[in-house]
Structures are given as C-alpha cells and as structure tokens.
Structure 1
Amino acid sequence: MANGRLNRPAGRNSNTSKQEVVIRTDRPIVVDATNHIAGRLASNVAKLLLQGQRVTVINCEKIMMSGTRSNQIQEYREFLEINSIINYKHGPVHYRRPDTIIAKMIRQMLPFDRKPSGKLAFQRLRTYIGAPNDTKPLEKTQFEKALIKRAASNYTTLAEICRVIGWTE
C-alpha cells in the first residue's frame, strides 16, 4: 500500500468486464400483472431492478398462483401459524394484501440482506392494487414467459387467496 491505495495492475478492472449496458430512463417500467404467474413475474421484475430500472407493478390482485385453490389456501394458512413463542416481533410478518405479498416475493429474489445493491433495487419498486391515475398514460408491458399457458380456471388469483386469509378491500 502506498499513500493509502492498494497496488493493482493498471488496466484490470474486474467490475467492468461483466457489466451490461442498460438504458435507464426517468420513467418507470409499468408492468401490468394481469394473468401473470407470480414466481415468474417476480423473477423478471427482480432482474430489471438489479439492472437499475425503476419498476411499477399494477393490478397485483390479478396475479395468478398455480395450483388448486384449496392447496394454495392451505399452504398460506400453515404459513400464518408460524410465529414466535416468546415475542411476535421475532416471527415472520404475515402480509395479507396482494401488493405487499408480491413485493415481499420480489424482495426475496433480491440480495436484500446481503448487499446494498439489493436494498437500493427494492427501493425502486412500486406495487399497486389496481392502476393509479399517474400510470394510466404510460405504456404497459407484459412478460410473455410469465403469462399463464392454460385456462384461467387452472389457477387461483392472489385476490381470492388474500380474501380468505383476512384481506378486506
């Protein structure tokens, strides 16, 4: 170390070798989540957030969960039973609104607890029930790989599950 700097060979910067060129805009990417499978939507949004984009997810109540309605409700009710014996603050937070559930799902796909880039990426995310007035003039995008493939009767909407577990609109 000389003058407080590490001695590194000139011309070698490992950070620039794998970076992708991403065009960033001031306008957020608005994703219409209608008829999207929850996990696939969350992974695509997480990738955009890590690239530095601002993402707004609208119509979160229309996101589809694959599997039968009874199985999805049973799984979430089992999750609601997990808590702490000592203090409720030590157990997991049980969200019941569709927009907060999908935000938590996206947060789990980011390096939120490990890196500062994950926290910064999560701050660029907005999720909404319905479509707010400021997003109506913007162009809405959908992910083709995240759309449902079979009939909608084979899936359960996030709003149905949330109503059963305690969401009041």
Structure 2
Amino acid sequence: MADKEIKKKSKVEKKDENNEGKKMNKVDKKMKKIIIDAEGAVFGRVCSFVAKKALEGNEMVIVNSEKVVITGNKKDIVGKYDTLRKKGGHSQKGPKYSNVAYMMLKKGIRGMLPDHRKGIGKQALNRVRCHNGVPKEFEEEKVLKISAPKKIKSMTLKELSGKI
C-alpha cells in the first residue's frame, strides 16, 4: 500500500515539475525584445507586424521610423493627413494628430490593436517603442529588417511630417 502511494506522489510531482518547466519556457519565449529597422518598409506592414508581435508579449523597438514609406500619390497622402489634423477644430481640443514621424507610426500601430485604452491592447502598446534614427543603445544589437518595396509611388514619414 505504501509503495502505491509513493508511486502516485512521484507521478504527481513529475507532472508538476514538467508543468513548471513548460510555464518557464512560455514566459521566456514570450518576453523577447525584437528590434526592427523600418528603413524603406511599408507603413501598414510594419504596423501590423509590430502589433501582432506586441500582442504575443514581445517588447518591440522600432528604429529609423522616419524612413517608413507610405505608398500612394503624394498629394493624396498629404491631403488625407492635413484634413485629419484640421478636423479637430480648436487647437487645444482633440483629436490631436502629431506631425512627428515616430508618433505617426505609433498611432498606426495603436490602430491595429484591439482596444488601446484598456486590457491587452494597452499592455501591448506599452511594449512598443519607436525611435527616429538609431539610438546609441541599439547600434550594436542585432536588428530585424522588414522587406522594402521596389519602385512605387511613395513618400517617407519624414517628408510627410515636413509638409503638414
């Protein structure tokens, strides 16, 4: 009788040890820091990729965010952002649209998250950092490049922020 109880306990202990190991692997797997070089990458593709990875639990750092490309006719792009900025009415009331490149990118990412004001979306947005250029702390680290389009009509966020 005592031998059976010992065997049962040992099986339970093994299961607990295995589960703890799995939990640790999931935590280690999810808490990755991914650095993306967004130079020449398409705006929507960068935003959707970053939003997806942030929801999975990864900490996302985007460098060269001013070199992200928005595809389309330049007049249409500038016109769209210009009307969005003027739509708010009084300058001290909302909605506020930034003309700084990294904030424009972060707002695009925010639009692809479930609800940026509470819950999972808020946590995911807190894991995203955007930078114009490459900060010194990320110069030596390994960066992930997102594929850039071939020749198409486009303009960078830096050009757009200068024209608004």
Coarse TM-score class (shorter-chain normalised): 0.7 to 0.9
Say if 1:45 and 1:106, in contact at 8 Å, map to a contact too: yes
Cα deviation for residue 142 of structure 1 reads 2.1
Structure holding more helix per residue: 2
Which amino acid is the alignment partner of residue 30 of structure 1? I
Structure 2 equivalent of residue 99 of structure 1: 102
Cα deviation for residue 113 of structure 1 reads 4.1
Cα deviation for residue 83 of structure 1 reads 1.3
Name the CA distance, whole Å, in 1 between partners of 2:117 and 2:106: 18
Q: Which has the larger radius of gyration?
A: 2
**What pairs up with 1:47-58 in 2 under 5 angstroms?**
47-58=52-63
Name the CA distance, whole Å, in 1 between partners of 2:126 and 2:85: 26
Runs of 4+ residues deviating >2 angstroms = 112-115
Say if 2:113 and 2:121, in contact at 8 Å, map to a contact too: yes
Name the CA distance, whole Å, in 1 between partners of 2:116 and 2:36: 25
Name the CA distance, whole Å, in 2 between partners of 1:55 and 1:111: 17
Name the CA distance, whole Å, in 2 between partners of 1:112 and 1:137: 34
Say if 1:65 and 1:155, in contact at 8 Å, map to a contact too: yes
Name the CA distance, whole Å, in 2 between partners of 1:60 and 1:32: 8
SS in 2 for 1:161: helix
Work out whether 1:67 is the aligned partner of 2:67. Answer: no
Unaligned ranges ≥5, structure 2: 1-25
SS in 1 for 2:163: helix
Give the TM-score of the pair, scaled to structure 2.
0.77
**What pairs up with 1:1-169 in 2 under 5 angstroms?**
23-25=29-31, 28-84=33-89, 88-89=92-93, 91-113=94-116, 115-144=118-147, 147-148=148-149, 150-151=150-151, 154-165=153-164
Say if 2:116 and 2:125, in contact at 8 Å, map to a contact too: no
Give the TM-score of the pair, scaled to structure 1.
0.75
How many residues matched?
138
**Aligned-residue identity in percent:** 28
Say if 2:115 and 2:121, in contact at 8 Å, map to a contact too: yes
SS in 1 for 2:124: helix
